[in-house]
Structure 1
Amino acid sequence: MKKIHLVWSFFCVMYVSLAIAAHAEEKIIQGKEEIEKSICELNIKGQIEKEFHLYVTDGYQEMADGEMIYFWGFTHAKDFADVEEIKTKAERNAKLLPLKVPGDEIRLTSGRNYVVVLHNAGWYETEEHSGINHVAHTIHFHGLDLIPALDGVPNLPYPSVFPGEIYRYLLTIPEDIEGTYMGHCHVDSTNHIMSGMYFPIIIEKKPNEIYGYTFDREYTLFMSELDSEYMETLREVGDIRRGLDWNSNYFMLNGRIFMDNLTHPLSTINDPKTRIVAYDGETVLVRLLALGYEHIFAWHPHGFHGLVIGTDGRKFPFAYEKDTLLIGSGERYDILYKIPDFSSKRKCLSCNYGPGISIAHDHNMKGMVSGGIYPHGPMTIFDIRPKKMTP
């Protein structure tokens, strides 16, 4: 009799569990349908400002020291257009821009509606037996306060996006929100983020204005780290359980490292998005972001104190000046640099690169060594020019 009771208890528990699971799945389907319905209605009304199609895949990126490093990441077609499902490596290479880390920024305007469509284009550079060939992904919009259905945390409440699948995120940006944010995958975060799955998100109310301050130029600088040996192991065997073995040997600025060969095309200072060019008397906004495993970056320009006006998408009530700013994983800072007149003629004696040139680098000195060589780290330059050279 006791056995019969236990058997019935087991079946009752199983029935209730299945019923709860079925109800939860039904709610998930209904919730997803509600999002799709909202997108459709806003489209009909002409209230979707833009649709961004992001494709996740894998690839290689050459570093300035000659190393070809395996990455995961977000890429897209021209103007973030929809090129539908990617089924082969040849299609990916023909339709999408080359993969790079970090992914290209997404720029949004306060008070507008946007749709971000995640496409899982699949992995094409792994070994046939690798355990990551069918891995799923999401997008977490880091710093934006969103409902769970749009927050990109797997299975809370929506499953991750597997190869060949898509998911639509509806972003309604409030009128009072601006600043610097980021997007990243939130599946198995240690492996996916550290493998390169991140990109900056910029929200602005007006061009050349932030938190009531105005500026002439802006630069988005994303500091990050990676373990090239771990990435190759991941590519070959797909053992995602070794996350605690991470040992960063590259520290990057916008996915690049500095080279003492100043003319190297892959060096940070020869990337127009990373070399900070300004003119006497201008104000420059630097949007500083960081993601990493355990490294704390210490942003330090040699020639200037910056006015820190905001962090994590929020204005500081009282701005303050810093010449060395610590930034940990997930943080963002908005910093204004007022370039004094005649800075183009001033020489930085510690830099010794000529008039108007001064360096900015990670002052946590571990970060200034990449591939075992100093100063191949996240370093760039302020390149200040006379006003007469302004285009």
Structure 2
Amino acid sequence: MLTSTSLRPRCQPRLALGLATLVAAAACLLLPGRAHAAPPATGVYCTTDAALAPTFTLNATDGYIQLPDGNVMYMWGYAGASGAFQHPGPVLCVNQGDTVTVVLNNSLPDPVSIMFPGMSNVQVNGAPAQPQFDTNGTLTSLTNTAAPLGGSVSYTFVADKPGTYLYESGTMPQKQVRMGLFGALVVRPSAAADQLNERTDSKFMSDEEFMVLLSEIDPYQHQAAEFGTPFNLNTYQARYWLINGRGFPDSISDNLAPMLPDQPYGALARITPYGAPDHPYPGAIRYLNVGSEEFPFHPHGNNGLVVGRDGRPVAGAGGQDLSFEKFAINIGPGQTWDVLFKWYDAEGYDPVNNPVPVTVPQVNNQEFGIFYSGSPYLGQTGTLPPGASTLNECGEYYIISHNHALYQITSWGVNLTGPITYVRVDKSKAGCP
């Protein structure tokens, strides 16, 4: 385990196994908030610049994040313009055709940089980006760097291809990316911001756009960086896996949850049934993998339609639609996948006209989950027995989504943590009464 100097207390009970994990965490868990808030309580939370040539300032700095097993981890990160540490870096959202400038200020003890995979002709301080070498000709960085403890560098590129991208350090990525120097870049099509790419068949509900950014941590590497001691990369072994910079159950708290001041992005997907008059298009999930191995992520209850990978539409040379359905989204290291998904109220169960065709057992023969409303019907609640507690607000459904490499949904051996979230299905966009 880490030494006590790198562990700090938090308002989070140490989690037990099985269902007790979720029950014990409820005392510190914020209920999922409603959509349409500004900033949004759920879904992609963008950092934007409305200028035709948007400029973003990122500050390479350090800080700490909270983990589900009670540990607190030292991290590096790209902070926003305020300079306040956050993990992961801001979600930068721009429009196709924008000339984007990113100014990097470095307060870390190492030279750092930013690469923009998928972007071409990146300029650095007005000249083409170049790999860096030391005096012996050894490669030290894949792109130009900002000097330690106060250096700055400016990157400029044209965001010409809509899609989902990573941005990450190109300097010793085996250390710096793993320490937290990464974030998501979203390029929206110039024709329609509610499409994943230029194809009209990638259209989605603008209020159902979500991000799944998967990462990992070897705590011993982070401990070495914190105390300035050597770390043997040959011994690297991830022991934590995160979704949007959080582990479960923190992952289903809202964006900007007060109990997670340095981990701004939640992963709860809040939707309504597809096919209603106010829901003619699917939802969208932007998957990104900044880890060192493939992550098979699966939302239970539906397949996803893969319409883009690595910022490019899944299409033939002649524009043929080559999109395909996947049960689990197997995102490789450094990859991004753009996926559409739908949740149908297929049976349309109703207690009067179309009741569930089973005999519900007596209360003393039932086990009540923490998200159960007391009724099997969407949008309805029922009576729970004395002593039963619930986080359900108004009869919504909760459908789990998680990494199917089950050893990765742990936090240093604590089960049912890591990259887990839920799809919350509300009966209507009006939400709860």
TM-score (norm 1): 0.72
Aligned to 2:251: 268
| 1:121 matched to 2:111 | no
Aligned to 1:11: none
Aligned to 2:416: 375
One of 113, 130, 136 as aligned partner of 1:138: 113
Aligned to 2:172: 188
- Note the 1:157-236 alignment, pairs <5 A: 158-174=144-160, 177-205=161-189, 206-211=192-197, 212=200, 213-216=202-205, 217-236=208-227
| 1:327 matched to 2:313 | no
Residue 345 of structure 1, CA deviation? 7.0
Residue 70 of structure 1, CA deviation? 0.3
Secondary structure, counterpart of 1:167 in structure 2: strand
Whole-Å Cα distance in 2 between the matches of residues 363 and 161 of structure 1?
40
Residue 311 of structure 1, CA deviation? 0.2
One of 91, 98, 107 as aligned partner of 1:105: 91
Secondary structure, counterpart of 2:340 in structure 1: strand
RMSD between aligned alpha carbons? 2.7
Decide whether the 8 Å contact of 1:105 with 1:202 is kept in 2.
yes
Structure 1 residues not aligned, in runs of 5+: 1-45, 78-94, 123-133, 260-266
One of 303, 306, 312 as aligned partner of 2:304: 306
Deviations 1:74-115 (A, max 9, x none): 0013xxxxxxxxxxxxxxxxx523x22211110111112121
Decide whether the 8 Å contact of 2:295 with 2:330 is kept in 1.
yes
One of 223, 230, 238 as aligned partner of 1:239: 230
Secondary structure, counterpart of 1:70 in structure 2: strand
Structure 2 letter corresponding to 1:169: Y
Structure 1 letter corresponding to 2:412: G
Decide whether the 8 Å contact of 2:251 with 2:267 is kept in 1.
yes
Secondary structure, counterpart of 1:209 in structure 2: coil
One of 33, 51, 55 as aligned partner of 1:51: 55
Residue 135 of structure 1, CA deviation? 0.6
Q: CA 1:325/1:172 → structure 2, altered by over 3 Å: closer, same or farther? A: same
Aligned to 2:83: 96
Whole-Å Cα distance in 2 between the matches of residues 252 and 377 of structure 1?
5
Q: CA 1:340/1:208 → structure 2, altered by over 3 Å: closer, same or farther? A: same
Residue 341 of structure 1, CA deviation? 3.6
Q: CA 1:182/1:151 → structure 2, altered by over 3 Å: closer, same or farther? A: farther
Decide whether the 8 Å contact of 1:290 with 1:329 is kept in 2.
yes
- Of residues 371-380 and 141-150 in structure 1, the stretch that sits farther from structure 2 once superposed is 141-150
Structure 2 letter corresponding to 1:255: G
- Note the 1:13-24 alignment, pairs <5 A: none
| 1:249 matched to 2:248 | no
Q: CA 1:49/1:369 → structure 2, altered by over 3 Å: closer, same or farther? A: same
Q: CA 1:383/1:158 → structure 2, altered by over 3 Å: closer, same or farther? A: closer
Residue 388 of structure 1, CA deviation? 5.2
Residue 233 of structure 1, CA deviation? 2.0
Q: CA 1:194/1:215 → structure 2, altered by over 3 Å: closer, same or farther? A: same
Decide whether the 8 Å contact of 2:117 with 2:165 is kept in 1.
yes
Whole-Å Cα distance in 2 between the matches of residues 335 and 298 of structure 1?
14
TM-score (norm 2): 0.65
Decide whether the 8 Å contact of 1:308 with 1:335 is kept in 2.
yes
Q: CA 1:171/1:278 → structure 2, altered by over 3 Å: closer, same or farther? A: same
Residue 255 of structure 1, CA deviation? 0.9
Secondary structure, counterpart of 1:190 in structure 2: helix
- Note the 1:280-295 alignment, pairs <5 A: 280-281=273-274, 282=279, 283-293=282-292, 295=293
Q: CA 1:113/1:305 → structure 2, altered by over 3 Å: closer, same or farther? A: same
Secondary structure, counterpart of 1:310 in structure 2: strand
Structure with greater strand percent: 1
Structure 1 letter corresponding to 2:83: L
Secondary structure, counterpart of 2:270 in structure 1: strand
Aligned to 2:386: none
Structure 1 letter corresponding to 2:217: L
Residue 147 of structure 1, CA deviation? 4.5
Structure having the higher Rg: 1
How many residues get paired?
Answer: 305
Structure 2 letter corresponding to 1:271: D
Decide whether the 8 Å contact of 1:153 with 1:187 is kept in 2.
no
Bigger RCO of structures 1 and 2 (CA < 8 A, at least 6 apart):
2
Structure 2 letter corresponding to 1:278: I
Q: CA 1:71/1:227 → structure 2, altered by over 3 Å: closer, same or farther? A: same
Deviations 1:348-376 (A, max 9, x none): xxx95435211000001121121211111
Secondary structure, counterpart of 2:54 in structure 1: strand
Whole-Å Cα distance in 1 between the matches of residues 347 and 171 of structure 2?
46
Decide whether the 8 Å contact of 2:129 with 2:144 is kept in 1.
no
Whole-Å Cα distance in 2 between the matches of residues 374 and 344 of structure 1?
35
Aligned to 1:356: 397
Structure 2 letter corresponding to 1:96: G
Residue 234 of structure 1, CA deviation? 2.0
Aligned to 1:67: 71
Whole-Å Cα distance in 2 between the matches of residues 345 and 270 of structure 1?
29
Q: CA 1:310/1:248 → structure 2, altered by over 3 Å: closer, same or farther? A: same
One of 248, 251, 256 as aligned partner of 1:258: 248
| 1:279 matched to 2:272 | yes
Residue 344 of structure 1, CA deviation? 9.4
Structure with greater helix percent: 1
Structure 2 residues not aligned, in runs of 5+: 1-49, 134-141, 256-265, 316-321, 351-355, 357-367, 373-395
Residue 170 of structure 1, CA deviation? 1.1
Secondary structure, counterpart of 2:399 in structure 1: strand
Q: CA 1:64/1:344 → structure 2, altered by over 3 Å: closer, same or farther? A: farther
